[in-house]
Amino acid sequence: MASYHVVKRGRRYSIVIETRDEYNNRREIWRALVGKDGRGITTLKEANAAAAQVFAEWQQGQYVPPLGMKLSECVKLYMESHNTLRAKTLQQYEFLAAQYLSRLGHLRVDQITPAIIQRWELDLLSHGGRDGRPLSPKTVRNAHTLLSAVLGQAVQWQMVRQNPVRGVKPPKIERHEQHILMAEQVRSLLAQLRGHRLYALFYLLVLRGMRPGEALGLKWSDVDLRRASMTLRRQLVRPGPRHWQFADLKTLQSRRTIYLPADAVAVLKEHRARQAEEKLKAGPYYTDLDLVFAAPDGRPLWERNIVRRVFKPALIRAGLDPSIRLYDLRHTCATLLLEAGENPKVVADLLGHSSVTITLDTYSHVTPRLRAQAGDKLAELFRIPEDSKRIAKPQNE
């Protein structure tokens, strides 16, 4: 029958479990006793309590012995085993791991406790950014999510018994405010952009609700101006400051065909003619990737530069809020279509949403107005013309 006792080794305590193997030979299992703070136990009272718990877990087959793997090694193993993630997701994970999870990288995975994680997140919120500046709750929450995924995988790999991240509440983040432009504001913005070599880009973003990455990954082979349509097949992502690559779209529904009104076809024809002139001017220095929206030398555009050099200045010239994001043009497209009475399913298909529920949830601010419009339409339907109004008299009078 198995038994155990506690032994002091230097300043710290260990448990010795005495058992017998399948040949009835005596066997001893030594394990260091670790407290809730991840450090070795130095008092007999704590050692006895921890030893009783370890022994009970060992009897039930639940005890996971410390393997000595540090978090940094576990993160690396996690990344290698999840290399099929979307390029943009993998890029974000690598950044979070290098910048923030690395601050816990020296700890063994079995040493990490909820208290340690809570302190780590509070430090990130207060001074975890560049030059000791605070980090946004959204960034800290993303780091929290990645750490939870890594340690959750460690549980499956039987490195730890449970995921300590589950004992920590992630920081609350406020939903990003959508900046919806009115039709007059859209006209003012486009007027400021008219004549710019990327006018067609902004025109399509607000007219067809494309994601910026989808537009920047669009190729001329995806566009059929004769049939007034284009098919979105990929997006442009930036795994690093000087690197770019094409990646699959966000969901299966994101791969979609968009039909173009006559004005959009005319804008794209004008854009293609301008691009042909740039190609001739650049000569052998032009990198032809068949991109619809490219730099003057044919290389992929950088969204950050488009916003800083073109979009923000145009917003200011148009007298609009400079905090409006490029992605808000997509929100503007959806909102104006819904307010104009377009079927939500049609809007969902245009945006590439996997279900109409996502569309209605995202643009819930439009729903009350849609309900009011629906009521007005029914009232109009049931309205009796003035010349047809008659008051029926009771027959028994």
Which residues does 232 contact at the CB level (< 8 Å), separation at least 6?
210, 214, 218, 222, 249, 254, 255, 256, 257, 258, 352
Domain boundary among 141, 167, 193: 167
Stated pTM of the model: 0.65
My answer on whether 90 and 22 are in the same domain is no
b/e map of 270-293 (b: 16 or more CB within 10 Å)?
A: ebeeebeeeeeeeeeebeeeebbb
For position 392, what pLDDT does the model report? 52
- Is 10 within the bounds of a domain? yes
Whether 189 has a pLDDT exceeding 80, the answer reads yes
Whether 397 has a pLDDT exceeding 60, the answer reads no
- Is 353 within the bounds of a domain? yes
My answer on whether 49 and 198 are in the same domain is no
My answer on whether 262 and 322 are in the same domain is yes
- Is 354 within the bounds of a domain? yes
CA 39 to CA 42: how far, in whole Å? 9
For position 393, what pLDDT does the model report? 54
> How many domains does one find in the chain?
3
Domain boundary among 132, 167, 202: 167
For position 391, what pLDDT does the model report? 53
Whether 145 has a pLDDT exceeding 90, the answer reads yes
- Is 380 within the bounds of a domain? no
We report the CATH number of the domain holding residue 337 as 1.10.443.10
CA 29 to CA 24: how far, in whole Å? 15
Residue type, 138: K
- Mean pLDDT throughout 142-162? 88
CA 100 to CA 32: how far, in whole Å? 29
Whether 131 has a pLDDT exceeding 90, the answer reads no
14 backbone dihedrals φ, ψ, rounded to 5°: -135, 160
- Mean pLDDT throughout 44-59? 89
My answer on whether 34 and 136 are in the same domain is no
Nearest to 46 by CA among 59, 62, 55, 33: 33
Which residues does 61 contact at the CB level (< 8 Å), separation at least 6?
none
* Pair 52, 63: CB distance under 8 Å: no
For position 330, what pLDDT does the model report? 94
Which residues does 205 contact at the CB level (< 8 Å), separation at least 6?
212, 215, 326, 329, 330, 333
Whether 195 has a pLDDT exceeding 70, the answer reads yes
pLDDT bin (cut points 50, 70, 90) of residue 64 is low
For position 90, what pLDDT does the model report? 82
- Is 385 within the bounds of a domain? no
For position 10, what pLDDT does the model report? 83
For position 159, what pLDDT does the model report? 77
CA 288 to CA 300: how far, in whole Å? 10
CA 371 to CA 90: how far, in whole Å? 42
My answer on whether 323 and 233 are in the same domain is yes
Nearest to 206 by CA among 178, 176, 183, 234: 183
We report the CATH number of the domain holding residue 112 as 1.10.150.130
- Is 175 within the bounds of a domain? no
- Mean pLDDT throughout 329-345? 90
My answer on whether 271 and 327 are in the same domain is yes
Pure H helices in 34-182: 44-59, 71-81, 87-99, 114-127, 137-156
- Mean pLDDT throughout 231-247? 81
Whether 121 has a pLDDT exceeding 60, the answer reads yes
- Is 176 within the bounds of a domain? no
My answer on whether 77 and 18 are in the same domain is no
- Mean pLDDT throughout 208-227? 95
Which residues does 152 contact at the CB level (< 8 Å), separation at least 6?
163, 165
Whether 119 has a pLDDT exceeding 70, the answer reads yes
pLDDT bin (cut points 50, 70, 90) of residue 249 is confident
Domain boundary among 133, 167, 201: 167
pLDDT bin (cut points 50, 70, 90) of residue 228 is very high
CA 323 to CA 79: how far, in whole Å? 35
Whether 191 has a pLDDT exceeding 60, the answer reads yes
* Among 176-185, 274-283, 376-385, the range of highest mean pLDDT: 274-283
Please give the sequence-ordered ranges of beta strands (E in DSSP) within 278-354, or none if there are none: none
Task: Decide: residue 112, CB within 10 A, 0-12 exposed, 13-18 middle, 19+ buried.
Answer: buried
For position 326, what pLDDT does the model report? 95
* Among 67-76, 237-246, 274-283, the range of highest mean pLDDT: 274-283
The DSSP letter of residue 307 is I
For position 388, what pLDDT does the model report? 55
Tokens standing for residue 78? 């996690």
My answer on whether 219 and 283 are in the same domain is yes
- Is 148 within the bounds of a domain? yes
For position 394, what pLDDT does the model report? 55
Tokens standing for residue 358? 């996502």
* Pair 257, 229: CB distance under 8 Å: yes
My answer on whether 343 and 321 are in the same domain is yes
Q: Which structural domain range is residue 134 located in?
A: 71-167
The DSSP letter of residue 99 is H
My answer on whether 337 and 211 are in the same domain is yes
My answer on whether 158 and 191 are in the same domain is no
For position 370, what pLDDT does the model report? 65
My answer on whether 208 and 288 are in the same domain is yes
The DSSP letter of residue 308 is I
Mean pLDDT of the chain: 86
* Pair 328, 363: CB distance under 8 Å: no
